[in-house]
Structure 1
Amino acid sequence: MDHPIQTLAVIGAGAMGSGIAALYAAKGIDVVLIDPVPGALSRAAEVIDRQLGVYAPDGVAEARRRIRMDEGLEAACAGDLVIEAIPEKLELKRNVFARLDTLCPAESIFATNTSGLSINAIADSVTRRDRFVGTHFFTPADVIPLVEVVRNDDTSTDTVERVMASLRYVGKRPVLVNRDIPGFIANRIQHALAREAISLLEQSVASAEDIDEVVKWSLGIRLAITGPLEQRDMNGIDVHHAIATYLYPDLENRTTPSPLLAQKVADGHLGAKTGQGFYSWPAETREQTLRDKSATLTELVALLQKRRAD
């Protein structure tokens, strides 16, 4: 299946939706990007032009012409595949898909770019549950290769195959999640890691900078080429079992967000977007820092992909 879809519709022109639109357009797919919020599409156009300069430096204008922008959901009728990338609010997503279900042809495939909401709960809003799937892209959507493709209880094999083929066509590395569980795979592992890191910070074991330094320059480097299960094999499962016997009882295992995390939210210290979180994010350096990190990720992905190809 060389060219699994002809046209993509993306609902939501934020950073995620813009990245998805640019990615598909750069690979020759016609895209309609839809957002009713005033000013959203004009802001997205600037982001997309910058992104296409990375994907298609020799053909930005051509790729840009493949992206049509519209404010009405009716425009989604043109999409063989419709990817929703709106805020993480269950009822908002359900309402959008309920409308799309009445507007789009029966053969259109629907995908929700939720980070962890129930695919079954969102799919309940449509009649085509067999043609409904989760596609969890990662920020930045145009850089991180992996996409989690998540079934609902009724997703057909044909739907999974077509969606995964379309993702491979644009250079993504899709992984199938067979069960609809909260957080899927990546966010469950990420939150387990973050829960322990925040607990270490609360206990004053080390500073935020040093905790991150440990992860980036030990686990982070290794995880780029060896997953946690493969690493257990390489270290020896008996060794892991022995360490787990005494370490697991001491690990953070609370089932509610930590007081430190709750206090950050209450104080409005939400991270880079507010200028203060676990770190300080001065406005004059914040955007440049984020761009630099994105560029570094792009270089790292290219290096890893080249290594794998070789």
Structure 2
Amino acid sequence: MLNTKPQKIAVIGTGMMGMSLTALFTGNGYDTTVLATKAASAERGRRSYDEMYAVLEGRGLVSRAQAAACAGNLHFTLSYVDLQDVDAVFECAVEDKAVKFAIYQQIEAHCKRFRFVASTTSAMAPETLCEGLQSCPGKLVVAHPFNPPHLVPFVELVKCACTEEAAASAAYEILESCGRKVCVMKKSAPGFIANRLQHALLREAIYMVEQGLADPRDIDKALMYSFMPRYTSVGLFEHQDAAGLDMVQSIEDHLLRDLSDAKETPAFVRERVARGDLGQKTGRGTYDWTDASRADFKARAAAPYWQYFNWDLPQV
């Protein structure tokens, strides 16, 4: 923990991101209050929280007694008045500037000692969001985790010119104390770090399908069984150093001119969206989905992250 004196965290939002972060914080000893917009949202959030801990118990990562102790750190409220003494705020609201700014106004009005507000946005830049903290814009920072953040250890911390170093450092320390691998962006850019890389890869994968080079299933197999497993143990730049930068130069001089440089969403995606084939939630996207295949995907998507489970759980 950061200090011998317990710190208090507020989480704004009862969706998947908010409750997953809440599971993480309570599991690492932080007194955490979740603000819900209505009682039904709080009840739904509590069910989601309990389900996450049930899975952890089922895998033997958390005991029943430890889960109960962690739940003792959890509180729900419908009023900002109950957040007046929190040290940190994690905002997990919808990607709507007006909604976020309304939340920030309430935080400024009711929270007396918060050190930072961390938005979990995946799309909005900190230099835009900081305008919503009118009296203390320097306390705004983006802390973008990947779902579900109680399992995926990666968090992007994004600052802007007005971000106070004390606010960024406080957010970094809390996240790191929960076993997260925090990556700091030197300056804001659309997509931050991971989504820029992910969508550059996706753009090329779609381009290969559209060019008739391979089917989606074979491209997925190529990713899963070639270099992706390697990059769970070594980094991209490490790997290129190991290969030799002279070889990298030779390959890229030959290859880059043939890669996609599309500047808009490919027809492959646009056509499916227009048809209403949106993926798992509609039963069809690139692939067809059933309840069984959705469950299988969910289990496989979580599988690589169990090895990173390293919470500072209570000893009970």
- 1:180 is aligned to 188
Q: Deviations over 1:120-152 (max 9, x none)?
A: 101111131221111011111111111111112
SS of the aligned residue for 1:226 comes to coil
- 1:39 is aligned to 40
- 2:2 is aligned to 2
Superposition deviation, residue 165 in structure 1:
0.9
Give yes or no for the alignment of 1:85 onto 2:96.
Answer: no
CA distance in 1, matches of 2:297, 2:84: 35
- 2:77 is aligned to 70
**Aligned-pair identity (%):** 27
Is the 1:116–1:182 Cα contact (8 Å) retained in structure 2? yes
Is the 1:5–1:81 Cα contact (8 Å) retained in structure 2? no
Is the 2:158–2:187 Cα contact (8 Å) retained in structure 1? yes
Is the 1:76–1:82 Cα contact (8 Å) retained in structure 2? no
- 1:111 is aligned to 118
> What TM-score do the two structures reach when normalised by structure 1?
0.90
- 1:13 is aligned to 14
Structure 2 residue runs of 5 or longer lacking an equivalent are 312-316
Listed as ranges, the matches of 1:76-155 within 5 Å are: 76-126=83-133, 127-155=135-163
Is the 1:116–1:187 Cα contact (8 Å) retained in structure 2? no
Listed as ranges, the matches of 1:156-305 within 5 Å are: 156-286=164-294, 288-301=295-308
Is the 2:29–2:70 Cα contact (8 Å) retained in structure 1? yes
Cα separation, partners in 2 of 1:264 and 1:87, compared to 1, 3 Å:
farther
Superposition deviation, residue 180 in structure 1:
1.2
Superposition deviation, residue 254 in structure 1:
1.1
CA distance in 2, matches of 1:285, 1:39: 30
Cα separation, partners in 2 of 1:157 and 1:216, compared to 1, 3 Å:
same
Is the 2:87–2:114 Cα contact (8 Å) retained in structure 1? yes
Superposition deviation, residue 300 in structure 1:
4.2
Structure 1 residue runs of 5 or longer lacking an equivalent are 306-310
Cα separation, partners in 2 of 1:260 and 1:76, compared to 1, 3 Å:
farther
Q: 1:56 aligns with which of 55, 58, 62?
A: 62
CA distance in 2, matches of 1:103, 1:32: 14
Q: Deviations over 1:60-106 (max 9, x none)?
A: 11211211112334433342110011222333323322332233225
CA distance in 2, matches of 1:36, 1:106: 22
Cα separation, partners in 2 of 1:90 and 1:244, compared to 1, 3 Å:
farther
SS of the aligned residue for 2:214 comes to coil
Cα separation, partners in 2 of 1:247 and 1:143, compared to 1, 3 Å:
same
Counterpart of 1:192, as a letter, is A
CA distance in 2, matches of 1:261, 1:73: 41
Moved over 6 A (4+): none
Superposition deviation, residue 49 in structure 1:
1.4
Is the 2:17–2:147 Cα contact (8 Å) retained in structure 1? yes
> What TM-score do the two structures reach when normalised by structure 2?
0.89
SS of the aligned residue for 2:229 comes to helix
- Of residues 38-47 and 120-129 in structure 1, the stretch that sits farther from structure 2 once superposed is 38-47
SS of the aligned residue for 1:39 comes to helix
CA distance in 2, matches of 1:294, 1:189: 18
CA distance in 1, matches of 2:216, 2:273: 17
| Greater RCO (CA < 8 Å, at least 6 residues apart) | 2
SS of the aligned residue for 1:98 comes to helix
Superposition deviation, residue 197 in structure 1:
0.9
Cα separation, partners in 2 of 1:254 and 1:173, compared to 1, 3 Å:
same
